[in-house]
Amino acid sequence: MTTKKFRSATIYEGTIRATTRSFLYGLGLDDEDIERPHVGVFHTGGEMSPCNMNLRDQAQHAKTGIYAAGGMPHECPVVSVSDGLTMAHSGMRFSLISRELIADSVEASVRGHQWDGIFAIGACDKNLPGLMMGMVRCNVPSVFVHGGSALPGQTPGPDGRDLNVVDTYEAIGKVLAGDATMQELSDVSHACLPTAGACAGQFTANTMGMVSEALGLAPIGSSMVPAVFSERAPLMRRTAKKLMDAVMKSVEGGGPLPRDIVTRKALENACALVSATGGSTNAALHIPAIAHEAGIRFHLDDVAEIFARTPLIADLRPGGKYLARDVYYIGGAGVILRELMNQGFVHGDVLTFTGRTLAEELAEANAPDGKVVRDVANALTPDGGLAVLKGNLCPDGALLKTAGLKTLAHTGPARVFENEEEAQTAVQNMRYEPGDVIVIRNEGPKGSPGMREMLGLTALLYGQGMGDKVALLTDGRFSGATRGLCIGYAGPEAADGGPIAILRNGDIVRIDARPDARSISVDLTEEEIAKRLAELKAGRGVNTGAPLGGLLEKYAATVRPSHQGAVTHSGAVTWLRDES
């Protein structure tokens, strides 16, 4: 072991630290254990969702690997809020907020206890970016591993089709439209999520799992291993050994730290991966937030530039045919990254947590299979699966998943709702018309507060057979599982006086997501928009109907706009940097 001291020596060395040693003895450590480097094993395991259900079991294998490689692991569970259990009610306000709580918890534990490294495991939408944000903020040797997706369910019979949770949402819409029975809905809801793990499609969790590999913060091939596969045990132990190599090197001044890894090139790689897979629109919220922790100004415009130039090569749900399990069977996310790198869409000369470059890590990755993942020459579309739209209605931009869309343009009258509940009631009762642009405002980070996700609403429309006959626009979020002409993250949000706040029923909204347009506008003159904005009353965006108190109040007071990642702190100015 090196003669130089690990930073964790701060907590136990010297006469005045005798009581700290007592606490460590009380944890079951002996003197040899105490003098090892101390590593925090962070996970969001618990019984709040199937995504999190087996993460603690995976963490035990990580701890075994850390100890075997000379470290002293400390299990550090952190909070997680399930999107699945908070969908379509007020609890969803706490989903995005939980990302900040997780990052803050990692910081508090690592800096408070002077841990020498971080092994982080997450598998639900907000806990993946939250853990990565905490890793980058603390800037100690770190690794992240996505806990894996659930296996899909299946409709009965030998020719049954794969099911995932989105099928249940859409079945609800079919029941409300009279096109399915309650028994059929019950059958789907019982079958769609048969194991522990994140939702099976290229929704937010699996998108951010792949992003962790593209950023260099996770082992190549790790994110697509299904949550319930026994392969996860040796994966965790191997990864722990690699992390301990980085920890040991760090005390001598060698080995990359998270802020060495998360560079502008790495962020561009992450965006390219999202675009190439038709991934979750939420990635455009989370990648800028991770960049913020690295001190890099990387906002929605930067994301949009990469999305526009990266082809869609993975045929994944919700817009495509295949699921995370299918990506695993053809070789994992490395297949996509290597093809993108070979064709010049991904930088290979960036560092990963192992100290090797991404190109070195991808050297043995498989070639595309031609079905789940195509080569670039046979891309599904040439410009990626997501688009940022701008115009007089959304000057700061809005985001649309274009993967799988049959039409990219829509013009129609606005049908305006002041919050999700109003819109939900109207859609359930089919109080809208084909051609409408359904507008849901006051759901942004500040106005909601919490920027609620509206998968239930969008799936209802598809279940009613209206998914491709209307458009949706909101300053809130849509799920990674959302499909259709659903435009979210409209900025500025209503609570910040954005033009979405002045829309009225019947105003004509024009949406054009074609590559040569990427626009969203309302048929109003600049003078009329300015006049309506001047008439807005202060505070109109907050729609909870009661004093916020507690966490929501603190969040509303500190959150930044969605195009900046909806972060809640300014960053350490002394190390904020712009990279070319």
- Give the CA distances from residue 218 to residues 131, 344, 521, in Å, rounded to whole numbers and listed in that order: 12, 22, 40
Asked whether the beta carbons of 47 and 56 are under 8 A apart, the reply is no
Q: Which positions are annotated as active-site residues?
A: 479
Where residue 497 falls (left for φ over 0; alpha for ψ -120 to 50; beta otherwise) is left
Give the bridge partners for 387, in sequence order.
Answer: 400
- Give the CA distances from residue 445 to residues 208, 211, 280, 416, 434, in Å, rounded to whole numbers and listed in that order: 20, 23, 18, 19, 29
3-class DSSP assignment, residue 492: coil
For residue 424 the two structure tokens come to 């939900």
Contacts of 186 (CB under 8 A, 6+ apart): none
Amino acid 20 reads T
For residue 344 the two structure tokens come to 């010049």
Residues in the chain: 580
- Give the CA distances from residue 463 to residues 81, 170, 460, in Å, rounded to whole numbers and listed in that order: 27, 4, 5
Strand runs labelled E in 328-436: 386-391, 394-401, 409-417
Q: What is the DSSP letter of 464?
A: T
Give the bridge partners for 412, in sequence order.
Answer: 509
- Give the CA distances from residue 514 to residues 47, 283, 288, 316, 531, in Å, rounded to whole numbers and listed in that order: 43, 21, 24, 21, 31
For residue 22 the two structure tokens come to 């007592």
> Token match 């495991």: residue?
121
